[in-house]
Amino acid sequence: MALTYSSMLELQTNLIEFDLLNSVSNKNFSSDSIDRDKPSLIMFICNHCPYVKAIIRELADDCAKLKEDGIKSVAIMSNDTKNYPEDSFENMKKFSDRYNFSFPYLIDETQEIAKKYDAVCTPDFFGYNKNLELNYRGRIRELNDLKPVGSGESELLKSMKLIAKTQQGPKEQYPSMGCSIKWFK
C-alpha cells in the first residue's frame, strides 16, 4: 500500500463529462444527470483500499447529509478489477449495500474517466459549484494511522456546504491521500 496524494487538478476546471454503469441501479449514469443549478461532488473510491475503508461510514453519512441539501454525490471506481477482484462490479454492489450508499457508484472499466480527472488515489474528491466549476480538491479529514483526527463535521462536508452557500471552496485545502489507483499493466 503506497501512500499517494491527490494531484490537485486546477480549481475552476469545468466538470468533466462521463457516462458509466451504476452498480446500485445496474443502469448507466451520466454527468448529464447532475443538477446544473446545484453543487455536486465527484469522488473516486474503491472497495479494497484501507484509506477508503477508514472513512467510508463517514463519507456515506456526509453524502446523505449533502443530498438533504440538494447536493448530488457520485462515486467512481476505476481500479483494474482483474488484478484487484475485491473491486469487481459485483463487489461494488455489495459494498454500496453494506454502507447504504445514497449516491450512484459507477465503474470506470476503461480508466478513461480517472485519467481525464487526473485522479490518482482513493479516495479522491472533486467538489463543484452550481456552475460546474471545480472548487474543492481536498480531503474528507485528516487521518493518523488510518484513524480520523478530530470530530465534528468533516472538511469535505464543510467545504461542500460553503460551496453551496458562496459558490467558492475554502481558501486552504489539503490534498486527499490514499492508495494509488490500480492502473492496467
pLDDT tens-digit map of 116-161: 999 999 999 999 999 999 999 999 999 998 988 888 999 999 999 9
Type of residue numbered 27: K
Instruction: Tell me if the pTM is above 0.75.
Output: yes
Amino acid at 66: L
Name the nearest CA neighbour of 116 among 20, 12, 18: 18
8 A C-beta contact, residue 175 and residue 138: yes
Name the phi and psi angles at 69, rounded to 5. Answer: -90, 10
Whole-number pLDDT of residue 1: 55
